[in-house]
Amino acid sequence: MIITKKPEFAVYVKALGFCLMSSGIAQADSLIDIYQLALKNDPAYLAGVHKYGADQEGYIQARANLLPTISFDASRTENQQEIKSSDNQVFGSGSTKYPTTEYTLSIDQSVYSYANWARLRQAESRNESYKAELNVVEQGLLLRTAEAYFAALAVYEEHSYIQAEEKSVQQHFELIEAKRKDGLARQTDFLDAQARYLQTKARGLEIRSRLKDSLEMIGEMTGETPASLALLKKDMAMPGPQPAQSSEWIATALEYNPEIKIRISNVDAAREEVKSLKGGHYPTLDLNLSYNNNATEGSLYGGGSEVSSTTATLSLNVPIYSGGLVSSRVRAATDLLSRTMQELSLEQRAVKRRTLSAFDGVNTDIAKVNSLAKSVESYELAVQAKRIGFESGITTSLAVLDAERDLFLARSEYSRARYGYILNTLRLKRAVGVLSAADLEQVNGFLGKISGGVTLLSDFQDAELLAVE
């Protein structure tokens, strides 16, 4: 596993509508297939993408305060006038109707506003935070896809192990039952075998329920449950983290982790917020250019007129006292800046811890897989030996049943360790902030062929599980 410094952005099934061909060939959904579906259908991911699109508009809105505002107003008025009385003998009486047309073109431009410039810089900082948030969403989808996929496979393997145990315990129970009828087995042996058989069946039902739920989790992301999933290869390479020093991973995490980038951007934005509010103490200078045209096509006292005027206004506003409001807002923003700085420090420590945890998890899982593989072999031999011993009268029936249960536990633990290695490998890169689709492609290589020997689990009421070895 090699660290990449530059990050890339990037089973319970509905009743099958077809029958398996007699050749036993079926197409299985690989990890990449599920990821591609999740890219199109996962609500959490799509919500994050749309949020990013909305957040980006904040910069454009902040920049608008520094750009000119142009407006155009036009009106047409119908006038009707009548002289009721007048001291002027010339215009002593009369009435008229005429229209008045007027339009105004106005341009407003902020010449100087310390607060507006600070808000623009704040928007730039927040834009960096939004990019990092999108990166969190993208890497989160990659990791969630892998976790859901391998959770389903892990439970499927556990289900296959409990089926094997159930079959063996059932055979042993039937053997004890036959011997008891012939008077060759004790009542306690029969009751032990019966209780263990029923207990195994109950555990099988519980695991089956978890299997259904784990498959529905995939459907929750993709909008549809997969027709089949490819199983993990029995033999897969398990290289350790490269570089092998945890300090190098931590250094990279502090540089590339998107959560840290979000916190850094939040600190920058909070610092600009303080500056923006301090701008309430500073003067502002604004320019207004206006052109007005007024055309009157008549009047009560004579002919019409057309008057145009152009004005230029430079406005200076000097704040003197606002009742302490500006100073209070600055103090509040300063405290919020201090809080975001503490949040940054907290996130840096948390990322360091998560990186170390994933790094140690990878190395631990490698050792666990190697040890548990030998453990499974030992338990398989122990089961065979105790079966032979029981047939020879050397070993008790309960010892055989305990050996079967221990074998199931060893197989399940071994399976979890293998999946733990894969997921911790991805979690390590996620903690560092460099998890990409290429890493999912690499993990996809651990899976078996997409078509080949099919293991069919068909004991669900309304669905079937296909797993390709």
**pLDDT tens string 410-429:** 888 898 899 999 999 999 99
Provide mean pLDDT across the span 180-193: 79
Provide mean pLDDT across the span 18-42: 67
pLDDT at residue 452 is higher than 80: no
Look at residue 92 in the predicted model and tell me its pLDDT: 58
More confident: 83 or 5: 83
pLDDT band, residue 234 (cuts 50/70/90)? confident
pLDDT at residue 97 is higher than 60: yes
Domain boundaries, the chain: 31-66+114-282+324-468, 69-112+284-317
Picking from 435, 343, 409, the residue whose alpha carbon sits closest to that of residue 142 is 435
Q: Answer whether 370's CB lies under 8 Å from 417's CB.
A: no
Look at residue 165 in the predicted model and tell me its pLDDT: 85
pLDDT band, residue 89 (cuts 50/70/90)? low
pLDDT at residue 127 is higher than 60: yes
User: CA–CA separation, 209 vs 139, rounded Å?
Assistant: 29
pLDDT at residue 14 is higher than 60: no
**Domains 31-66+114-282+324-468 and 69-112+284-317 fall in the same CATH topology:** no
Q: Answer whether 308's CB lies under 8 Å from 270's CB.
A: no
Look at residue 454 in the predicted model and tell me its pLDDT: 32
User: CA–CA separation, 369 vs 411, rounded Å?
Assistant: 11
Dihedral of CA atoms 458, 460, 466, 469 in degrees, nearest 10, equals: -70
Tracing tokens 């699109």 back to the chain, one arrives at 53
More confident: 399 or 107: 107
Look at residue 91 in the predicted model and tell me its pLDDT: 61
More confident: 339 or 185: 339
Look at residue 147 in the predicted model and tell me its pLDDT: 94
Pick the CATH number of 31-66+114-282+324-468 from 3.30.310.80, 3.40.718.10, 1.20.1600.10, 3.30.2290.10: 1.20.1600.10
Task: Report which DSSP code applies to 28.
Answer: -
The burial of 349, by beta-carbon neighbours within 10 Å (0-12 exposed, 13-18 middle, 19 or more buried), is given as: exposed
Structure tokens at 94: 């009369």
Provide mean pLDDT across the span 276-288: 92
What angle separates helix 31-41 from helix 114-181, to the nearest 10 degrees? 130
Lowest mean pLDDT across 76-90, 132-146, 349-363: 76-90
pLDDT band, residue 304 (cuts 50/70/90)? confident
Look at residue 245 in the predicted model and tell me its pLDDT: 92
pLDDT at residue 225 is higher than 90: no
The burial of 270, by beta-carbon neighbours within 10 Å (0-12 exposed, 13-18 middle, 19 or more buried), is given as: buried
Lowest mean pLDDT across 203-207, 303-307, 433-437: 303-307
pLDDT at residue 465 is higher than 60: no
Does domain 69-112+284-317 fall under CATH 2.20.200? My reply is: yes
pTM of the model: 0.79
pLDDT band, residue 386 (cuts 50/70/90)? confident
More confident: 275 or 179: 275
pLDDT at residue 49 is higher than 70: yes
